[in-house]
């Protein structure tokens, strides 16, 4: 049994990497978390065997894209950018960021542009901590997504959940 499943279901993102003028890649990731607010920082775990790792080592930047499209998440999560050009193969529509030349997936619930400020090696993983240089989200207010039930949550393997529509408010 896997200890990390105790922290699932959890949101899944698509990480964009590279430079839109040169080479790019996308991967799926649910091992991601906000880290700080005074410095707008978040972090995610990247296997050092991934093409995304090579691109982030090279360009020191990445994007975080929250998308509703589970099929796209699955496709980018089960293929390697070392073997195929995922953007072309899966017909991913993207544009370059405003602050950084990272690829942002169009039509996403949210896109965040991050510059690597620290990388921490833990076994086979590089945990990248990025400062958010620019971000935008659709249908979003001070409480977060108005339609928060659209945020995909990875349970395990091929199984995904979504947040319940019903909230519980504490007193």
Phi-psi region of 124 (alpha: psi -120 to 50; beta: other; left: phi over 0): alpha
| Residue 3 interacts with a copy of itself (CB under 8 A): yes or no | yes
One symbol per residue from 5 to 24: x for binding a copy of itself (CB under 8 A), - otherwise; what is it? Answer: xxxxxxx-x-----------
List the one residue out of 82, 79, 93 whose CA is nearest residue 53: 82
- Cβ-based nearer residue to a copy of itself, 37 or 88: 37
One symbol per residue from 27 to 46: x for binding a copy of itself (CB under 8 A), - otherwise; what is it? Answer: ----xxxxxxxxxxxxxxx-
**What SS3 class is residue 84?**
coil
List the one residue out of 66, 62, 163, 164 whose CA is nearest residue 109: 66
What is the smallest separation between the CB atom of 40 and a copy of itself, expressed in angstroms? 5
The answer to whether residues 36 and 51 touch, using CB atoms and an 8 Å cutoff, is no
Q: Which of 95, 98, 118, 146 binds a copy of itself (CB under 8 A)?
A: 118
Q: Which stretch binds a copy of itself (CB under 8 A): 16-24, 83-91, 92-100, 107-115?
A: 107-115
């Amino acid at each position: 049994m896997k200890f990390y499943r105790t922290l699932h279901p959890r949101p899944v993102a698509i990480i964009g990497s590279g430079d839109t003028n040169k080479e790019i890649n996308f991967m799926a990731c649910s091992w991601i978390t906000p880290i700080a607010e005074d410095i707008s920082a978040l972090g995610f775990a990247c296997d050092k065997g991934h093409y995304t790792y090579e691109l982030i080592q090279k360009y020191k930047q990445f994007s975080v894209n929250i998308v509703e499209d589970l099929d796209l998440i699955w496709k980018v999560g089960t293929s390697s950018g070392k073997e195929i050009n995922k953007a072309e193969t899966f017909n991913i529509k993207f544009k370059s960021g405003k602050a950084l030349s990272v690829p942002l997936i169009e039509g996403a619930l949210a896109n965040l542009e991050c510059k690597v400020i620290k990388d921490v090696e833990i076994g086979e993983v590089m945990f990248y901590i990025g400062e958010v240089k620019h971000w935008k989200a659709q249908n979003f207010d001070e409480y977060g997504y108005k339609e928060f039930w659209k945020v995909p949550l990875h349970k395990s393997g091929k199984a995904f959940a979504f947040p319940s529509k019903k909230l519980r408010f504490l007193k």
